[in-house]
Structure 1
């Protein structure tokens, strides 16, 4: 927004100034409001009551309890409605209460996918004309990396052996990792010694230990590698070096890493549910995430068919090229200006 908007002024509310914050244009003013707890619904609400802006934009789910007269909120997903077991009791109470409240009280809603828009209409009865779908973009650092030295250094850093399939996310049941491991075990029996290893990158989540035990039970612990958190700067190289990126999730509000994989020229295998078909488009393989055989067959195709991988690589690069943060910013600005008109 700072790069494209020369008409409006912005006040950025924050608990504390982020160290990584880049230089801001003159039209942007920081407004730190220090408070360790109850920031959004306490201190920010007080700020809205005492010094309301013309329009408040909240890019993450929950408006303050006391919003100004005009407000826009971005709701990323309603995963807690589909999979409440993936959250604690306290999280479910908070998300259900404040997401519904925000959807009702906001002047307008930005949804990050058509799937999220449908959920808002289904669960909350939100009118269609109150919701605008604006997709995310891909950071410029996600580009194909072909330098063998960079790929080898990154793989060595995380103790990875090529060839490999890559999964990036918190390791938890909603991500469908157990079925993915089962599919890899079955695919290994078909592909044999040329079967790519499965690399799971992401911090441990709910029931991670149970998921790890599943690899042992299936006899593929030597083919499944839990490498933990990956630094942002290493992700393009890990994606570029993978045979394919696999995202068999049971639910996603968007699925950012799928798009990042395509931008790196990595073939994508993803679920055919929630937002993932929107993000993948016709540039990846889509499967039923509940069908282990379907996941297995897609993995076998990707492991054995170099022509298919090359085709998906080219289609993915073309598809991801139009998903830019500038497009996201321009569409967001259009919504903000429309809602902010007197």
Structure 2
């Protein structure tokens, strides 16, 4: 069986991180897997993909918004003689849904990675999305919330949807239940409208000065978050680290992980934190809350005081140790090997 995953870019994001672990895991289970990336501008993962021996194609146009992708994708699919074409994120979903009319042999699937996006704020895009998703024989949702929101938006049949939770490479992140050593908070997340870094900053301003905060990630809202940190006079307590490929080590050097999101399909960063033994405090939004559950602490979206209160609960040594232990136990349900196996079962079922 030969699979081609197609993704919009290799920028910092959950889908990009998922494929970085998923493709090698699928290859280890005997599947021939390759990757097509529409646009390498702004990439942060390319070297990591190459280190893992993943064969990557890039259309000559190297522009996720160009209609020329249709023809170049169709050519790559025909030449590769793939059994399954599996798309991720909107631009790849759009162009592949059109390219399939010129490359009809493979089975086409897509994964829905989020409960919300900006297109769903305008009814104009509903017609477009209905067309896009109708082009795929199977749609894989990363959570029940993701599936439900997609059905509500497009009316796609439930029979067409499979739910497969994301996974992580537990061996890379797995830690031991640990005691608290300090007051270092970390949030690993791209700077994007789907994330809520501002609430984390405002919570830090209310916490004792011994608390520090590290943001790991890059993105479009980074400058506005930096301005907020300056206005709150937090310059000496906040570090903007940028992109890092050493997240596992960073998590283990911090005491508390935060995942603050306006909406979230799943929450890979929260899962990585739990696997490392770093207690997680996350926004109580669908998708993310389902992953964290009772293994971490949940706070109300945008509620600064609620976040402060949840962080302070972890000042109790026994409670902190228990949450570290709970997180590790919860993470074991989400191994990348299990995720890869479930995807392969779906491929073979088609």
TM-score normalized by the length of structure 1: 0.77
Find out whether 1:2 has 2:2 as its counterpart: no
The structure with the larger Rg is: 1
* Alpha carbons 1:72, 1:108 under 8 Å: kept: yes
- Give per-residue Cα distances to partners, 1:192-245, cap 9 Å, x unaligned: 35x421111112422x33322222322333222222222x1x211210121110
1:171 alignment counterpart: 191
1:332 alignment counterpart: 343
Distance 1:280 1:13, change over 3 A: closer
Report the secondary structure of 1:56's partner residue.
strand
Alpha-carbon distance in 2 for matches of 1:224, 1:51: 48
Matches within 5 A, 1:214-225: 214-225=228-239
RMSD between superposed Cα atoms in Å: 3.3
Query: In the alignment, which of 269, 288, 300 is matched to residue 281 of structure 2?
Result: 269
* Structure 2 residue runs without a partner (length 5+): 1-25, 39-45
1:249 alignment counterpart: 261
Query: In the alignment, which of 214, 217, 221 is matched to residue 199 of structure 1?
Result: 214
Find out whether 1:56 has 2:85 as its counterpart: yes
Matches within 5 A, 1:21-170: 22=52, 32=57, 34-37=59-62, 38=66, 40-48=69-77, 53-61=82-90, 62=93, 63-67=96-100, 68=104, 70-81=107-118, 100-139=130-169, 140-144=171-175, 163-170=183-190
Distance 1:199 1:48, change over 3 A: closer
Distance 1:34 1:123, change over 3 A: closer
Q: How many residues align?
A: 302
TM-score normalized by the length of structure 2: 0.75
- Give per-residue Cα distances to partners, 1:57-85, cap 9 Å, x unaligned: 33445134132353111121253238879
Alpha-carbon distance in 1 for matches of 2:127, 2:51: 31
- Post-superposition offset of 1:167: 0.6
Alpha-carbon distance in 2 for matches of 1:316, 1:291: 23
Alpha-carbon distance in 1 for matches of 2:337, 2:79: 33
